[in-house]
Amino acid sequence: MSGYHKCIACPTWITYRFAICAKCEQEYGRSAREWPKWLRFLWNDIQKERRRTKRIREHEITFSELEDKNRNE
């Protein structure tokens, strides 16, 4: 399901731009500042992983790229 993921608080599928579903938003609040510590921890951990993945995608050099670079030198 491209563009969808599960709510971080329950197994409901939601669009990628949201962290929690409407039901959990009603229970825990809209802002992460209102969420219980365990939910904020999960959200922060997910955000760290997304940033790490983006950084790797943007800056990682693969072995095949290294081989190509060495051939051209």
Model pLDDT for residues 11-59, shown as the tens digit of each residue:
999 998 899 999 999 999 999 999 999 999 999 999 999 899 999 988 8
How many domains is the chain built from?
A: 1
pLDDT over 90, % of the chain: 64
pLDDT computed for residue 1 by the predictor: 55
DSSP state letters, 2-23: TTEEE-SSSS-EEETT-SS-HH
Domain that holds residue 62: 4-72
The set of residues, in sequence order, having a beta carbon less than 8 Å from that of 4 and lying 6+ positions away, is: 13, 14, 15, 16
pLDDT band at 70 (very low <50, low <70, confident <90, very high): low
The residue behind tokens 């760290």 is 48
- pTM higher than 0.85: no
Q: Determine the Cα–Cα distance for residues 41 and 47; give it in Å rounded to an integer.
A: 10
Give the three-class secondary structure for 28.
Answer: helix
